[in-house]
A and B are shown apart, each in its own frame.
Chain A
Amino acid sequence: MDVILILLAAGLLSWPLGRYMTAVFAGAPHWSDKVFAGPERLMLRLFGVDGRAGMNWRQYGLAFVAANLLLGIIAYVLLLCQHLLPLNPDNVGPLSWDLALHTAVSFLTNTNQQHYSGQLQLSFFSQSVVLVTLQFLTPAMGLALALAVLRGMTGGLNSATAKAGEPRNLGNFYQDSLRAFTRVLLPLSVVLALLLGSQGVPSNYQAATEAVLLEAPQSAEQAQIQRIPQGPVAAMVAIKQLGTNGGGWYGPNSTNPLENPTPLSNALQTIALVLVPMAMLWMMGGMLSRTASVNAAAASQAGLTPHTGLTPRAGQGFARMSFAVMAVLSLCFVAAAVYSEMQPNAAFAGLGASGGNLEGKEVRFGTDLSALWSTLTTQTSNGSVNAMHDSLNPLAGLISRAGMLINAIWGGIGCGLINFIVYIWLSVFIAGLMIGRTPEMFGRKLEKTELSWLGLLLVLPSAVILILTAITLSVPEWTANSNPGLHGISQVFYEYTSAFANNGSGFEGLGDNTPWWNLSTVLALLLGRYLPLLIPLIIAGRLAQKPVTPPGAASLPLQSLTFGVTVVVVILLLNFLSFLPSMVLGPIGEALVDLR
């Protein structure tokens, strides 16, 4: 029941948010200008960048890479030197070079995979300035790239006037990411932080509180006094959830009662997991139909036939189809995970324990809400947790991994939508052939060069995840995992999947703060962030310049049920075929052993 209410609330809230985002990024005057335009101009001037000039795909991609490079270097240096910097009341020491690198890259890639234990190894400055800044900026930049890809697919902002082959304006990277930050993520986070604060999530800059244990310690090793770290937790938790970040204040993330104290805070945080990714789809519909009608209007003004590959209706229809595809996959996965966790834990068989699998869960949340969270957090590339994924029953473990491998059911802000579009392109190619036309999307043909890039994206997950997993497993002293046998394989596989998918959730039970783990996951993080964002930008940029075929009776109806089913099948089949063998050596094998 809770599960359904939470999902329903998220879906309902995403609609107005999506419409608001459409208006904000359309570039036309908007009421939000009154509030934000001034500060935005100031910030652009501060950084000395031009926020108005349109960029083609090369310029847009370069601006993105340059901004990331700069942010990455700054974050790395600050993390290395955190002991020299202010806001360090607990006198936390410096990070090792590889851990600092992993942490910087992990937050730079919107992953927030943590090989450190938050409150113990990072200063307030590192957490609340360095990491929270990245938690705001990286989803904003992801969103910007999604905007550029969408604009490219419809021919760019100058599509009404540009001729085939001419460079296309995909928008301005700085303005897009800045608006995503100031007008979307920041206001939402403030609201959520206030709500969470009202539920008792700490919000201060005090050193750890010392508390005397209520019960006397049972052995000498146990401390007399417990140190309870605090800080600006609410703010970080708000953006960690909203920005598909996942890196919380405390090591145990949202299982910690200070990070997630009440049922309401849990519900709010769960909604925040999927809110912006859901709204992205409505924004896509708004953008597509807006582009179509703007182009049609511009053409009729110039006395030309509209030069556009889609109609406003088809744009909205495409977004609805996309939402439906994601919703169906998401709901099926949630249902399966909830069912899975209702089953008893096989390890307790014969011990007389009954009821669901509560190992590694907060009894406060129970199995349903933990399963819901674990499913949504892996689908959205968020990676925050309110239960230990290591202890999920095999089916739910499989589902959480499937969510990350697919990485396009809601998905991370920007990257989720872009990944989904990649699946769409692949589906369009197969379906286009099957209706006897050169495959095309919004009237633009997918040809050999586009297919070569898509082929690279198709191979990339297998290449990164499987090769790194195989290498790590073949050197047991690098593996450093807590479980032998199939579950050990699962842990390693999960860690790389989580890194590549820029998810950041941990299967835990892995001694992962070693140079090998830090560096190999850095590789997975970088390849998993930048290629899946930049290659679609290249494809969209190429598509933008192509001649457009107007939609006709024989074009593929992208908004149709049949095509939606095709997309679902393509998503499931590709991932099933790519990863079944390795899954058999992981969760499927474990499940089979359990079932016997």
Chain B
Amino acid sequence: MNHSMQISAGAVRTASLDAWRKLAPMQAIKSPVMFVVWVGTLWSFAMTVQRLLQDQPYGFALCCSLILLFTVWFANFAEAIAEARGRDQAASLKATRRDLTATLRNKAGQLTQVNASTLKQGDVVVVEPGQLIPADGEIVQGVASINESALTGESAPVLREAGTDHSGVIAGTKLLSGRIEVQVTAESGHSFLDKMIRLVEGTQRQKTPNELALTVLLAALTLVFLLAVATLPSMAEFVGIKLDPLLLIALLVCLIPTTIAGLLPAIGIAGMNRALAANLIAKSGKAVEVAGDIDTLLLDKTGTITFGDRQATAFLPLPGVTQTELVRVAVLSSLQDPTPEGKSVVKLARELGDITELPQAAEFVPFSAETRLSGLRLPAEGADSGQGFASSYISSFAYKGASDAICRFALSQGLAVPQALEGIVSKVAQQGATPLVVVSAKRILGVIQLSDVIKPGVAERFAKLRALGVRTVMVTGDNPITAGAIAAVAGVDDFVAEARPEDKLALIRAEQAKGHLVAMVGDGTNDAPALAQADVGLAMNSGTQAAKDAGNMVDLDSDPTKLLAVVEVGKQLLITRGALTTFSLANDVAKYFVIIPAVFAASMPGIGLLNLMQLPDPQIAVISALIFNAVIIPLLIPLALKGVKIRAISAENLLRNNLLIYGLGGLLLPFVAIKLIDLGLNWML
């Protein structure tokens, strides 16, 4: 599915209607700032009617009233469009789960076809290849390859297996191969997606902590401006000036921070939407906001930083052995080896140009706990069976294994252990890699270096996180030397070696005790306590239900480095709010210089000097300012929805840039814009 950030025509249509609906008093009172505008609008309309009835000119009053009405409507529209877009996304999510049927298996083992909506937690359903999975659950039996593209947009199938940390399946995804039994973990309407759908639709949205704090500040500012304007008439009266209440309403509306107040709900909703667009399901808006504050990220090495399986990265022959010989024997020992390590040896050899084929009568010797080596053995007569080229290298066997195991085996076969071996082995170990020693019936040949391969792009992502102020800590069961080597290459800031899975919880607590806000990525059941303890617990969608329940976010792509996106969305939320607040307040300066001269135009000689923009007609000037004030809200909707772009620069530079753009820009823009609107209006009239 494509979680598009585009706004559909349908969304605009419903949003326009919703914006009218939100004019209802109970809705309008939610934002104190916009409520003041709404009251001003009604008052202004009342004055229009009064002037109409008293046969006075009412055109100006009507104009003001209409612009005020649109100011409120635009603010409502901003919120409605964000909600509509959320609903669009939710609808496409919902589409994945319509009319699913399930094959329910009861305790006696009988199978019945039921509607998926009747499934209860704990039910076990059977899914055949080609079917859609009817409910969120965990595989209890079988291995499956699943296409989750309906959910994630990623078409490559993913592997899910019972009893592993990758046992979770999601309703609406398609089973490609394997017959599985799934235990239902969430009833219809209570799954993650259902929760997410309600969140993105905005129906369950609660204001986040920073949003609440900002709302309080905006309300206080509104009160300040209300006082500044409301006390004006009695002061003016003292010097015999009578002020037009309509102009005072215009002054008030222009001063109170309507721009940020109008866009504030949209910014919050859009933050959730952006998270979803990155295939992240946040359980609350607060979780997304907190992500922006994260300063420590705890990561499992395996599966996150590295691919998790060791891969051959070099062949290191002993003195007197050619590279070709070592490679050939290594390949022979691995050709039938089904483990990822074995396959990687062959892969690397082929890349080096090796074409060794499997001898016919070869017998595979699998790895066993007693021998701790694996390879192949040729029957005694195999030496004459035309496979001369292979046998000439290995005579009767080719094995690879841990250094001590091979050495013991070699000695038992009467082969010498060359002195140089230990040097090579320890050098490999020091680099954080695993040495596998290769032996043939003739001699010990050398070492295969198995390294934990670091995922491409990981180091860049960590560098970016670091620039955003997030310290990455790698957690691994490896010994400190190996861990240190990998940490250095991957570019993590710190690592904890020889850690058991259950140590993670203690680690998070220790970091939190130092005052850090910790994020943790995990997928296993034993990660669940740590995920719950972390300030941001990002669970992999492929993980177990316990992990997903414990975390406050789920990544549908199961991409552990997705945390970068979460941090960015969280920061964007705050920056967008801060930037638009600054912009809104900076705008006021220009508006003062438009409306104050207009308010006192008739009564105070010399006030024209404050008319910096030289607007000729006071009434048109006020209308121009009101138009700017109203129109800036829809113009900034795209910014509110997309969020202020963030770059990985220092906090001071970030502050300077945003101050220049939204502070200085906010100061200057209205001078130009209002002048232009005024010119246009004067030209039209």
Contact = CB atoms under 8 A, between A and B. Distances in A.
A573 B609 CA distance: 20
Report the contact-size class of chain A (Cβ under 8 Å from the partner). Answer: 35 or more
Given A459-B227, A467-B231, A550 B574 contact: no
B411 interface: no
Given A466-B231, A486-B239, 18 more contacts: A434-B578, A435-B654, A436-B572, A437-B574, A438-B293, A448-B212, A448-B216, A454-B220, A459-B224, A463-B227, A469-B235, A485-B239, A569-B663, A576-B589, A578-B224, A581-B232, A585-B232, A589-B600
Contact of A446 (B213, B241, B251, B581): B213
Interface stretch (A35-43, A108-116, A253-261, A553-561): A553-561
A550 B293 CA distance: 12
Contact of A473 (B227, B237, B514, B652): B237
Nearest to A305: B514
A330 to B, nearest CB: 23
B683 interface: no
B592 to A, nearest CB: 6
Contacts, number: 221
Task: State the majority secondary structure of interface residues on B.
Answer: helix
Contacts of A577: 224-225, 228, 255, 585, 588-589, 592
Contacts of B658: 434-435
B604 A589 contact: yes
A431 B517 CA distance: 20
30 contacts: A433-B210, A433-B578, A434-B658, A437-B292, A438-B574, A452-B216, A458-B224, A467-B227, A469-B231, A473-B234, A474-B234, A474-B238, A548-B515, A549-B295, A552-B471, A553-B467, A560-B652, A562-B652, A562-B656, A563-B652, A563-B655, A573-B586, A577-B585, A578-B224, A579-B228, A580-B596, A584-B604, A589-B606, A592-B604, A593-B606
A550 B209 contact: no
Contact of A435 (B224, B225, B235, B575): B575
Interface string B566-601: 000011111101110110011011001000100010
A28 interface: no
A447 B578 CA distance: 14
A455 B217 contact: yes
Nearest to A593: B606
B239 A466 contact: no
A470 B295 contact: no
Interface residues of B, number: 76
A437 B574 CA distance: 7
A489 B238 contact: yes
A509 to B, nearest CB: 15
Contacts of A459: 220, 223-224, 227
Interface string B462-480: 0000111111000000000
Nearest to B212: A448
Interface string A417-450: 0000000001001111111111100010011101
Nearest to B469: A554
Interface string A563-578: 1011001000100111
A463 B231 CA distance: 10
A431, A434, A548, A565: which has the most chain B beta carbons within 10 Å? A434
Contacts of A429: 213, 217
A547 interface: yes
Given A433-B578, A565-B659, A582 B228 contact: yes
A562 B655 contact: yes
A581 B216 contact: no
A305 to B, nearest CB: 5
B235 A585 contact: yes
B612 interface: no
A470 B235 contact: yes
A456 B571 contact: no
Interface in B96-110: none
B219 A455 contact: yes
A596 interface: yes
Smallest CB-CB A-B distances: 5 pairs: A554-B469, A433-B578, A455-B220, A436-B571, A592-B606
B239 A585 contact: yes
Contacts of A470: 231, 234-235
A585 B574 CA distance: 38
Contact of B655 (A434, A438, A447): A434
A467 B224 CA distance: 11
A585 B236 contact: yes
Contacts of A467: 227, 231
Contacts of A596: 605-606, 609
Contact of B224 (A462, A584, A588): A462
A523 B618 CA distance: 39
Contact of B516 (A469, A549, A569, A585): A549
B441 interface: no
A307 interface: yes
B136 to A, nearest CB: 33
Interface in B440-469: 466-469
A252 B249 CA distance: 44
B469 A578 contact: no
B140 interface: no
A435 B579 CA distance: 9
A473 B209 contact: no
A451 interface: yes
